[in-house]
Structure 1
Amino acid sequence: MASPSLTAASREPASRRFNEALVVTKIVSFWNEAIAHGLIPPGGYSSRAMPFDRPTPLRPRRPERLQERAATDRTDLRSSRHERDRMSRYCFLLRVKPELLDEYRARHQRVWPEMLHALAAAGWRNYSIFASGDGLLVGYVEADDLGAAQAAIADTEANVRWQAEMSRYFTGLDDRRPDESLQLLDEIFNLDDQLLGLQGGNQP
């Protein structure tokens, strides 16, 4: 049986190593937390400027950097406004026969893939159709130019077939195709446009 003194001596190095490992773990944890809070640069300090040698005071963000950020924000705002100016919004009315409205709804749950691709290729964007119970349809679409978008899709094979099948659902077409009978509405208000005007200093 080993003597108590030898047993204690054999345990001491292991205990010391455990304590040293615990201290190192706490230091690493503190160091990472300080980096996360911006108290220490992510790359750490060089050997010439360790924190316990020459502490580096925290510096406030320089005014020129704030000005650069503001300029970037203004550029993004102008870019967004330019994109909106280039992209026009259109709203139109059509009317389907009330007794065929449910069937018309069902057909638009399964629009042909070739028709969807033809619309997108012709420049129809964010295109939606809404319906009331009496058969009134309200359509919304964004395009660079609606007339050009209509002309681009008019004679495609998918559109010719689609319009031929859709015609029977509508009323008031006067022997025209549905896509030739859109009753366009005038836009009188847009929230995003007016908010952008306020941010850009253009009060209504």
Structure 2
Amino acid sequence: MIRKASIMRVYPDCYDEYKRRHDELWPEMAEELRNHGSHNYSIFLDEETGNLFAYVEIEDEAKWDQMSQTEICRKWWVYMEPLMETNPDNSPVSKSLKEVFYLK
């Protein structure tokens, strides 16, 4: 299993809506995430900064990278775009983090 972590940012007035939308994650989005090898996906919010810390375990980098090409993922990005910092293609601005410690 490959562990991945990243940081994104949600707008301060959108914290509750961001959480609500994830609490009501579309079943087809959850299914597609699983189909692309994701497990134990969590997102944490720092309410002081709006930073989101995302953690996911994946089976394969290439399989995971294909998720961004799916219709449901692109639809989700459009749905989430008003709430957070995004790129021109509506994908979240995301910074990957380098793992520096792991205790098994």
TM-score (structure 1 length as normaliser)? 0.47
Asked which structure has the greater RCO (Cα within 8 Å, sep 6+), the reply is: 2
**1:105 deviation in Å?**
0.7
What is residue 143 of structure 1 aligned with on the other side? 58
Which of 67, 79, 83 is residue 169 of structure 1 equivalent to? 83
Do structure 1's residue 184 and structure 2's residue 96 form an aligned pair?
yes
**1:138 deviation in Å?**
0.2
Query: Higher Cα Rg: structure 1 or 2?
Result: 1
Q: Is the 8 A contact 2:74 2:91 kept in 1?
A: no
- 1:52-67 equivalent positions in 2, closer than 5 A: none
- Give, in whole Å, the separation in 1 of the partners of 2:70 and 2:30: 12
Q: Deviations over 1:5-51 (max 9, x none)?
A: xxxxxxxxxxxxxxxxxxxxxxxxxxxxxxxxxxxxxxxxxxxxxxx
TM-score (structure 2 length as normaliser)? 0.88
What is residue 131 of structure 1 aligned with on the other side? 45
RMSD of aligned residue pairs (Cα, Å): 1.6
Q: Which amino acid is 2:70 matched to?
A: T
Question: Where in structure 1 do 4 or more consecutive aligned residues deviate above 6 Å?
Answer: none
Identity %: 34
More strand by share: 2
More helix by share: 1
What is residue 88 of structure 1 aligned with on the other side? 2
